[in-house]
Chains A and B, each alone.
Chain A
Amino acid sequence: MGLLSKKDQKLILDPLADDNPITIQVLGICSALAITAQLKASIVMSISVLFVLGVGNVVISLMRNIIPSKIRIIVQLIVVATLVIIVDQVLKAYAYELSKELSVFVGLIITNCIIMGRFEAFALGNGPWRSFLDGIGNALGYGVILIIVGFFRELLGSGTLLGFKVLGDPIEKTGLYAIGYENNGFMLLSPMALIVVGLIIWVQRSRNKALIEEH
Chain B
Amino acid sequence: MEHLELFFKSIFIDNMVFATFLGMCSYLAVSKKVSTAVGLGAAVIFVLAVTVPLNWLLDQYILRDGALAWLGPEYADYDLSFLSFILFIATIATMVQLVEIVVEKFSPSLYNSLGIFLPLIAVNCAILGGSLFMQSRDIQSLGLAFNYGVSSGIGWFLAILAIAAIREKIRYSNVPAPLRGLGITFIITGLMAIGFMSFGGMLTGGDEEEETTPVAEVAPVEMIKEVSDELVSTTNEKEE
Query: Which residues of A approach B to under 8 Å, CB–CB?
Result: 23, 26-31, 33-34, 37, 73-74, 77-78, 81-82, 84-85, 88-89, 103-104, 107-108, 110-113, 116, 157-158, 170-171, 185, 188-195, 197-199, 201-206, 209, 212-215
Candidates B125, B180, B215, B225; contact of A213 at CB < 8 Å: B180
Verify if B166 is at the interface (C-beta below 8 Å from A).
no
Chain A neighbourhood of B215, CB < 8 A? 157, 185, 188
Rounded to whole angstroms, the CA-CA distance of A107 and B176 in the bound complex is 37
- Some 23 contacts from A to B, beta carbons below 8 A apart, are A29-B24, A29-B25, A29-B28, A30-B25, A31-B125, A33-B21, A73-B122, A73-B123, A77-B122, A77-B123, A85-B83, A88-B82, A103-B136, A104-B136, A108-B128, A110-B89, A110-B128, A188-B215, A189-B194, A205-B178, A212-B177, A212-B180, A213-B180
Rounded to whole angstroms, the CA-CA distance of A170 and B213 in the bound complex is 18
Rounded to whole angstroms, the CA-CA distance of A170 and B222 in the bound complex is 10
A81 touches B180 (CB 8 A): no
Rounded to whole angstroms, the CA-CA distance of A198 and B133 in the bound complex is 27
B85 touches A74 (CB 8 A): no
Residues of B112-140 at the interface with A, using a CB-CB cut-off of 8 Å, are: 119, 122-125, 127-129, 132-133, 136
Candidates A26, A30, A82, A193; contact of B23 at CB < 8 Å: A30
Say yes or no: A77-B213 contact (C-beta < 8 A), given A108-B132, A171-B226, A212-B180.
no
CB distance from B12 to the nearest CB of A (A): 15
Candidates B24, B180, B182; contact of A30 at CB < 8 Å: B24
The A interface is mostly helix, strand or loop, or mixed, namely helix
A74 touches B186 (CB 8 A): no
Say yes or no: A194-B190 contact (C-beta < 8 A), given A30-B25, A77-B122, A81-B86.
yes
Candidates A82, A188, A197; contact of B186 at CB < 8 Å: A197
A78 touches B25 (CB 8 A): no
Say yes or no: A30-B123 contact (C-beta < 8 A), given A191-B197, A194-B187.
no
CB distance from B9 to the nearest CB of A (A): 17
Chain A residue nearest in CB terms to B133? A104
A104 touches B93 (CB 8 A): no
Among A113, A203, A209, residue most surrounded by chain B Cβ atoms (within 10 Å)? A113
Chain B neighbourhood of A107, CB < 8 A? 84-85, 128, 132
B125 touches A30 (CB 8 A): yes
Chain B neighbourhood of A203, CB < 8 A? 178
Chain A neighbourhood of B136, CB < 8 A? 103-104
Verify if B49 is at the interface (C-beta below 8 Å from A).
no
Chain B neighbourhood of A205, CB < 8 A? 177-179, 183
Chain B 154-188 per-residue mask, 1 if CB under 8 angstroms from chain A, else 0: 00000000000000000100001111111111110
Rounded to whole angstroms, the CA-CA distance of A193 and B20 in the bound complex is 11
Candidates B132, B178, B194, B222; contact of A171 at CB < 8 Å: B222
A34 touches B20 (CB 8 A): yes
Rounded to whole angstroms, the CA-CA distance of A215 and B215 in the bound complex is 37
Among A77, A85, A103, A191, residue most surrounded by chain B Cβ atoms (within 10 Å)? A191
A85 touches B191 (CB 8 A): no
Rounded to whole angstroms, the CA-CA distance of A204 and B176 in the bound complex is 13
Chain A neighbourhood of B226, CB < 8 A? 171
B178 touches A194 (CB 8 A): no
CB distance from A36 to the nearest CB of B (A): 10
A202 touches B183 (CB 8 A): yes
Rounded to whole angstroms, the CA-CA distance of A212 and B176 in the bound complex is 10
Verify if B29 is at the interface (C-beta below 8 Å from A).
yes
Candidates A189, A198, A206, A213; contact of B187 at CB < 8 Å: A198
A26 touches B133 (CB 8 A): no
Chain B neighbourhood of A213, CB < 8 A? 180-182
Say yes or no: A214-B190 contact (C-beta < 8 A), given A111-B89, A189-B197.
no
Rounded to whole angstroms, the CA-CA distance of A28 and B162 in the bound complex is 22
